[in-house]
Amino acid sequence: MSGLQAIRYTRGSLEVLDQLRLPHEHHYDNITTSEEAFDCIKSMRVRGAPAIAIVAALAHAVELHNGACKASTTEKTIAYIESRLDYLFESRPTAVDLGNAISHLKTTVRRVVVSGLDGQAAQEKVIEAYIEAAEEIFRKDTETNLSIGEHGAKWVVENATVQSAEGKVAVLTHCNTGSLATSGHGTALGIIRSLHSAGSLSHAFCTETRPYNQGSRLTAFELVYENIPSTLITDSMAGALFATRKQKDHIAAVIVGADRVVRNGDTANKVGTYALAVLAKYHGIKFVVAAPTTSIDLKTETGFGIKIEERKREELTQISGAVVGANGSVDVSKTARVAIADQRVGVWNPAFDVTPAELIDAVVTERGVVEKGPDGRFDFSGVMPERW
The contact set with ligand MRU (CB under 6 A) reads 47-50, 95, 175, 177, 181-182, 187, 214, 257-259, 269-270, 351
Question: Which residues does 211 contact at the CB level (< 8 Å), separation at least 6?
Answer: 315, 316, 349
Q: Minimal distance in Å, beta carbon 271 to ligand MRU?
A: 8
Instruction: Supply the minimum distance, in Å, between the C-beta of residue 350 and ligand MRU.
Output: 11
> Is position 141 annotated as part of the catalytic site?
no
Judged by beta carbon, residue 49 or residue 58, the one nearer ligand MRU is 49
Measured from the CB atom, the residue of 105 and 261 that comes closer to ligand MRU is 261
Element of type H or E holding 155: helix 119-158
Q: List own/partner pairs for 108-112 with CB under 8 A and 24 or more apart.
A: 108/133, 109/78, 109/81, 109/82, 109/133, 110/78
- For 35, phi then psi, to 5°, come to -65, -45
Nearer to ligand MRU, 45 or 196 (CB): 45
| Number of H-type helices and E-type strands within the chain | 11, 16
Nearer to ligand MRU, 122 or 188 (CB): 188
Question: How far apart, in Å, are the Cα atoms of 387 and each of 85, 331, 367?
Answer: 19, 49, 13
CB of 375 to ligand MRU, least distance (A): 28
The closest of 55, 78, 47, 49 to 7, measured between CA atoms, is 55
* Nearer to ligand MRU (CB atom), residue 49 or residue 133: 49
- String of DSSP letters for 4-27: --SEEEETTEEEEE-TTSTTT---
Q: How far is the CB of 17 from ligand MRU (least distance, A)?
A: 14
**Backbone angles phi and psi of 172, in degrees to 5:** -120, 140
- Give the end-to-end CA distance of the chain in Å, rounded to a whole number: 28
Which of these is catalytic: 259, 266, 297, 353? 259
Residues linked to residue 289 through DSSP beta bridges, in sequence order = 256, 363
CB of 219 to ligand MRU, least distance (A): 10
Cβ-proximal residue to ligand MRU, closest one: 257
Closest distance of CB 278 from ligand MRU, Å: 18
Closer CB to ligand MRU, 49 or 127, in the complex: 49
Asked if 164 and 251 touch (Cβ cutoff 8 Å), the reply is no
Catalytic residues: 259
